[in-house]
Amino acid sequence: MKIAFFDAKPYDLPAFGRYAKEYGAEIKFYETKLNIDTANLAEGYDAVCVFVNDDVNSAVIDKLYSLGVKLIALRSAGYNNVDVKHAFKKIHVVHVPSYSPYAVAEHAMALLLTSVRRTHKAYIRTKDFNFSLNGLTGFDLHGKTVGVIGTGKIGGIFMNICRGFGMNVVAYDKFPSGDAHYVSLDELFVKSDVISLHCPLNEDTYHLIDKAAIEKMKKGVIIVNTSRGALIDAEALLAGIKEKKVGAACLDVYEEESDVFFHDFSGHIMSDDVLARLISMPNVIVTSHQAFLTEEALSNIAETTLKNISSFFNNDGICENELCYRCGNVERCQKDRKDRCF
């Protein structure tokens, strides 16, 4: 199994190196992202391994197909950056449905706590021997209402964490199935002091939080997004913050993150005005898509990715984590997991 691994980072190498040996795979690590300009690098490889900001659009898929690549192995849960529909009947796509939902849910709570208790500001102050408390007043999460959008693996754990804090939890999910007090999306917007996003990015959820949604929210609402950037219309969020309608935003993801996140731009002029303005706000915390980044998650990602690839190549193309488009709905796939998509 020869794998071309795109957008490789130093923290990927130890776990992938370990599991590559175990599964007998040969991996070529490329620092560059996969896109139409770099797709040629996959020539001679059986599979490509991609992450959230690799752009696997229809043109890239056609190119990979022409090069004889058999498998696109996402090392992430979300797959909005891969045109799975276009890949159908050409190249199989597998992903890592769950590697540590705790990592992401805990990061969402870490951002929320940082925001409401101003620990990011206190840290900088005391480093400078400034022990003043002025401007650090926060509020109790206990008794506040949190609205959770998407109650799958991560949303479910986040709801439990919030319950542990004594928060009232309301939830919205297009396919409600968890143990939650489900309400309509509008009711969630109206009732919530904190709104946390845990649904996938797709046609339904693109700009789920836009100007109209923000208008329905409570004044001072805190918005937490550890899911995908384009769930939020970033310009509408910025306007909401400037108008003081939105009390704070905790963002691990950003709509236009792909050219910025994971890189060191210190010392450079930031060309994205919306991101620069958001970061300049005292009530906005941005982390660069790091919610997944724990030892446990990295190890699970590497193990499941290699297992997926091994299963595909050694088990007649059958992989339980295949993203199947056969019935036209990847989300609600009815495929027998002992079968291949095509």
Per-residue x/- track, 99-118, ligand NAI (CB under 6 A) = --x--x--------------
Is 198 designated active site? no
Is 227 a residue that touches ligand NAI (CB under 6 A)? yes
| Main-chain phi, psi angles of 272, to 5 degrees | -85, 100
- Residues 196, 172: contact at Cβ < 8 Å? no
Q: How far apart are CA 293 and CA 314, in angstroms?
A: 30
Q: How far apart are CA 5 and CA 157, in angstroms?
A: 31
Is 63 a residue that touches ligand NAI (CB under 6 A)? no
Q: How far is the CB of 171 from ligand NAI (least distance, A)?
A: 9
In the bound state, the residue with its beta carbon closest to ligand NAI is 152
Q: How far apart are CA 107 and CA 62, in angstroms?
A: 37
Give the interface size with ligand NAI as a residue count (CB under 6 A).
Answer: 30
DSSP states along 98-160: -S-HHHHHHHHHHHHHHHHHTHHHHHHHHHTT----TT------TT-EEEEE--SHHHHHHHH
Q: Which residue from 192, 226, 304, 308 is in contact with ligand NAI, where contact means CB under 6 A? A: 226
Task: Kindly indicate which of the ranges 133-141, 163-171, 225-233, 243-251 contains the residues binding ligand NAI, using the contact rule CB under 6 A.
Answer: 225-233
Site residues for ligand NAI, window 280-309 (CB under 6 A)? 289, 291-292
Q: How far is the CB of 51 from ligand NAI (least distance, A)?
A: 10
Site residues for ligand NAI, window 71-100 (CB under 6 A)? 77-78, 98
Q: How many CB atoms lie within 10 A of CB 35?
A: 17
Is 228 designated active site? yes
- Assign 3-state DSSP to the chain and report helix, strand, coil percentages, each to 5: 35, 15, 50
Site residues for ligand NAI, window 155-184 (CB under 6 A)? 155, 172-175
Site residues for ligand NAI, window 237-256 (CB under 6 A)? 252-253
Q: Which residue from 82, 87, 150, 323 is in contact with ligand NAI, where contact means CB under 6 A? A: 150
The residue with tokens 């190498």 is: 13
Q: How far apart are CA 94 and CA 81, in angstroms?
A: 13
Give the nearer residue to ligand NAI in terms of CB position, either 21 or 85.
85
Largest CA distance in the chain: 65
Residue 70 half-sphere exposure, CB side, CA atoms within 13 Å? 17
Is 263 designated active site? no
Active-site residues, by number, are 228, 257, 289
Q: Which residues bind ligand NAI (CB under 6 A)?
A: 77-78, 98, 101, 104, 149-155, 172-175, 198-201, 204-205, 226-228, 252-253, 289, 291-292
